[in-house]
Chain A
Amino acid sequence: MANFSSPMPSREFLWDVFQRVDKDRSGFISSDELQMALSNGTWTPFNPETVRLMIGMFDKHNRGTVSFDDFGALWKYVTDWQSCFRSFDRDGSGNINVSELKDALSSFGYRLGEQIVSVMLKRFDRFGRGTILFDDFIQCCVVLHTLTAAFRQFDTDQDGYITIHYEQFLNMVFGLKI
C-alpha cells in the first residue's frame, strides 16, 4: 500500500476526530465506537470483522480499545485504505468487481489466477452482486496477507508448494488471526 500513503495530519485535527469518535468520552475508542464512525458507502453497518482486525492491529495494550496515542496510526491506516480502494474502483461505483480486485491484488504483488480471485470475491460478496464494498475489501486484503505470511513460513524452499501434516494444517489455520 506504499503508493497510497497519506501524510500524518496535525495533532489538533486528530484530537478533534478522536473526540467525535469517542462518544462516551472514556478516552478510548471501542470497537462499537469505531464501527459507528466508519462507513462502507451503503447504509449497512461497517463489517465488524474488519473493525476487530483494525482494533487488534493498533491496540498496543491489548485492551480491545484504541487510545489517542495509537489513534494517529489507525486514522492513517483507514485513510490509506480509502485512497487505495478509490483508485481501484475505476468506475466510481463504490464497490470493486472481480477485475478491479485482481488489479488491486497484483499491484500489491500477488500473482493470483482468475479462479482464485473469484473464490476470494465470493467470500466477501455481501449482496451476491459479484462486487465487494470498502470494509470487506480491507478484510479480504488483510486475510490474504496473513495467509501468505503463514504459507511462507512452511514454504522454506520458496517453490510455492508446502507439504503439511493434518495437525500442522489445523494448527496453522486455527492459529491465523483472521
Chain B
Amino acid sequence: MAQPQSGMPPPAYLMEMFQKLDKDQSGSITANELQTALSNGTWTPFNPETVRLMMNMFDKSNKGTITFEDFGALWKYIVDWQNCFRSFDKDNSGNIDKNELRAALQTFGYNLNDATVTTMLQKFDRIGKGTVLFDDFIQCCIMLNNLTTAFRQFDTDQDGVVTLHYEQFVGVVFSIK
C-alpha cells in the first residue's frame, strides 16, 4: 500500500470524527462503534473480521477499544485503504473484480497465478457476483500478507517451497489473524 498515502488531518478534525464515532461518549471506540461507522458501499454490515483486524492493529493498550491517541493512525489506515481500493476499482463499480484484484496484488509485489487469485476471490466474494467489496478486500490483503510472512519463516532457503510437519501446519493456520 505504498502509493496512495494521505496526510494526517489536523487534531481538531480528528477529534470531531472521534466524537461522532464514540456514540456512548465513553472516551474510546469499541468494535461495534467502528463497525457502524464504516461502510462497504452496500447495505450489508461492514465485515466484522476486518473491524477486529483493524482494532487489534491500533489498540495499543490491548483493551479491545481505540482511544483518541490511537485514532489518528487508524483513521489514516482506513483512508489509505479507501484510496487504494478506489484506484484499483477502475470501473468505479464499488467492488473489485478478478482482473482488478490481480492488478492490485501485482502492485503490492505478489505475482500470483490465475488459480490462486480465483481461490482468493471466491473466499471473499460475499454476494456471489465474482467481486470483492471494500471491507473484504482489506481482509483479503491482510490475510495474504500474514500467510506470506508465515510461509517465508519456513522457507529459509527462499526457493518458494517448504516442508511442514502436521503440527507446524496447524499452528500456522490457527495463528493467522
Which residues of A are interface residues toward B (Cβ below 8 A)?
Answer: 48, 112-113, 115-116, 119-120, 123, 143-144, 147-148, 151, 155, 160-167, 169-171, 173-176, 178
Q: Is the CB of A116 within 8 A of B167?
A: yes
Docked CA distance A48–B31 (Å): 15
Q: Does B175 contact A (CB under 8 A)?
A: yes
Nearest CB of chain A from residue B169's CB, rounded to whole Å: 5
CB contact between B175 and one of A119, A151, A167 (< 8 Å): that residue: A119
What chain A residues lie within 8 Å of B116 (beta carbons)?
167, 170-171, 174
CB-based nearest A residue for B111: A167
What chain A residues lie within 8 Å of B161 (beta carbons)?
163-166
Q: Is the CB of B123 within 8 A of A175?
A: yes
- DSSP majority for the B interface? helix
Query: With A123-B175, A143-B174, A164-B161 in contact, do A170 and B147 touch (Cβ < 8 Å)?
Result: yes
What chain B residues lie within 8 Å of A167 (beta carbons)?
112-113, 115-116
Q: Does B129 contact A (CB under 8 A)?
A: no
CB-based nearest A residue for B49: A49
CB-based nearest A residue for B140: A174
Q: Is the CB of A170 within 8 A of B144?
A: yes
Q: Is the CB of B162 within 8 A of A173?
A: no
CB contact between B170 and one of A144, A163, A164, A174 (< 8 Å): that residue: A144
Q: Tell me the residues in window 150-171 of chain B with beta carbons closer than 8 Å to chain A beta carbons.
A: 151, 155, 160-167, 169-171
- Given A169-B147, A170-B116, A174-B143, 16 other A-B residues pairs in contact with their CB atoms under 8 A: A112-B167, A116-B170, A116-B171, A119-B175, A147-B173, A148-B170, A151-B169, A160-B166, A162-B169, A163-B162, A163-B163, A164-B162, A166-B155, A167-B116, A171-B116, A175-B119
